[in-house]
Copies of this chain bind each other. A is one copy, B any other.
Amino acid sequence: MIPRYTPAEVGALWSPAARYRTWLEVELAACEAMEATGAVPAGTAASIRPIADRLDPDRIDAIERETRHDVIAFLTHVEELAGPPARWLHLGMTSSDVLDTGLAISLRGAADAILARADALLAAFRARIEEHRHTPMIGRSHGIHAEPITFGVALAGHFAEIARARRRVASARHEIAVGKIAGAVGTYAHLDPAVEAAALAKLGLRPETVATQIVPRDRHAAFVTACASVAGAIERFATNVRHWQRTEVLEAEEAFAKGQKGSSAMPHKRNPILSENLCGLARVVRAQVVPALENVALWHERDISHSSVERMMMPDVTATTAFMLERCRTLIEGLVVYPQNLGHNLARARGLWASEGVLLALVRAGKPRQEAYVWVQRNAMRAFHGEGDFLELLLADTEIRALVGEDAIRAELDLDRALAKCGAIIDRALGETP
């Protein structure tokens, strides 16, 4: 989590101050629930709550340097601030009851920040899809011209994929919205499950099915994976922008701000730096899936090896994912599309994209498929080598012409026919999302 790639909202979730406030929130929720069962004197939580604004991260750090235990340091500081009633806090609880329940709150907050940004991104895509619903472009496989699509369909594919990734995050948010107030090894040895239920309900969380000392880490791994799914969806889009912008293609281009400079050496440069940046950040997020999964197999009722990983990973993954969604929205909103170049490139194909149509016409006229393929390919390869226009070559191929006729050949180059179903595809994508 470095400032350059951290939305302020997400960064704030992981600040020491926020961390300690969340811990206090958990302790007080548990305390109130214990007051309800009579385990703790009524009014205890209410008497402690006002210290929330006086928690001092530096003081807690200082105590931790002696105790070498963060939650004990926190509780010691709370006792300093709140006095005797504070001894009722943490009653029968273990550090992880606070830490993991607090982590669930932070992750839920991060998930919400991610979901909100995903929604904003999808909305931005929706607008550009409508704008380019009918803008023809050449579809490509292997980087080679294939058959026509529309720019709207290309964007709709990204839209649908981002929407799927968003659903995975929503599902993972549900998976991690789980807390635990079950004691040292999850057996409620000094606690009442009803206290956990009540305290977590206050916090909007569910109890873990079978906790050990902690909430099992498969949930967190699922969450990180969902973030990587978002990153992957953005990476695919960003990769395509980079392709569209390359000099020879130039079908679309990142917005180039006034005052922006592309290169310290070459004043002529305009580079797709947002997209490249997003591709790099996708690697950053993806890389965290492995340690997240490695964190699952803790020893016995837990070991603490996951902790150092999560201290770095959780802020990194959530901030970077949220940042990527924001930047991607900037990217799609500002994307400069060049319909003229789209048309020019489509025309460069000199009708080669119609080769399948001619093949099918021959098949329908009775030619075995693989023989028809050879007939069409021989003309396509000549057109490819610049020995003529594909249509002219086909018309001049006496065998093909004899079998299907000039009109049928010409009909295969009808762009509108080729794109007839694109609108329906787009409607399907836009209609499917939550």
Q: Are A144 and B270 in contact (CB under 8 A)?
A: yes
Please name all residues of chain B whose beta carbon is closer than 8 Å to the beta carbon of A185 when the two chains form the complex: 139-141, 146-149
Chain B CB within 8 A of A164 CB: yes
Please name all residues of chain B whose beta carbon is closer than 8 Å to the beta carbon of A139 when the two chains form the complex: 184-187, 212-213, 300-301
The answer to whether A90 and B369 touch (CB under 8 A), given A261-B72, A356-B267, is yes
The answer to whether A316 and B305 touch (CB under 8 A), given A141-B213, A145-B247, A239-B299, is no
Q: Are B239 and A153 in contact (CB under 8 A)?
A: no
Please name all residues of chain B whose beta carbon is closer than 8 Å to the beta carbon of A242 when the two chains form the complex: 142-143, 299, 303
Chain B CB within 8 A of A100 CB: no
A397-434 toward B: CB 8 Å interface, digit per residue (1/0)? 00000000000000000000111111011101100100
Chain B CB within 8 A of A376 CB: yes
Q: Are B165 and A210 in contact (CB under 8 A)?
A: no
Chain B CB within 8 A of A109 CB: no
Instruction: Give chain B nearest CB distance to A168 CB in angstroms.
Output: 7
Chain B CB within 8 A of A110 CB: no
User: Which among A168, A261, A316 has the highest number of chain B CB atoms within 10 Å?
Assistant: A261
The answer to whether A309 and B283 touch (CB under 8 A), given A141-B271, A160-B210, A384-B270, is yes
Please name all residues of chain B whose beta carbon is closer than 8 Å to the beta carbon of A420 when the two chains form the complex: 188
Q: What's the dominant secondary structure at chain A's contact region?
A: helix
Contact of A264 among B72, B212, B233, B277 (CB under 8 A): B72
Q: Are B210 and A221 in contact (CB under 8 A)?
A: no
Residue of B nearest to A357 (CB): B190
Looking at A42-50, A113-121, A289-297, the stretch in contact with chain B turns out to be A289-297
Please name all residues of chain B whose beta carbon is closer than 8 Å to the beta carbon of A334 when the two chains form the complex: none
Q: Are A236 and B187 in contact (CB under 8 A)?
A: no
Bound complex: CA of A353 vs CA of B374, how far in Å?
A: 43
Bound complex: CA of A193 vs CA of B434, how far in Å?
A: 23
Taking residues whose C-beta sits less than 8 angstroms from the other chain, chain A's interface range is: 35 or more
Instruction: Give chain B nearest CB distance to A340 CB in angstroms.
Output: 10
Q: Are B141 and A302 in contact (CB under 8 A)?
A: yes
Please name all residues of chain B whose beta carbon is closer than 8 Å to the beta carbon of A269 when the two chains form the complex: 141-142, 144, 146, 355
Chain B CB within 8 A of A388 CB: no
Contact of A271 among B72, B296, B304, B372 (CB under 8 A): B304
Q: Are A360 and B216 in contact (CB under 8 A)?
A: no
Bound complex: CA of A73 vs CA of B2, how far in Å?
A: 19
Bound complex: CA of A267 vs CA of B384, how far in Å?
A: 11
Chain B CB within 8 A of A349 CB: yes
List which A188-227 residues lie within 8 A (CB) of chain B: 188-190, 193, 209-213, 216, 218-219, 221-222, 225
Residue of B nearest to A188 (CB): B421
Q: Are A79 and B257 in contact (CB under 8 A)?
A: no
Bound complex: CA of A312 vs CA of B267, how far in Å?
A: 29
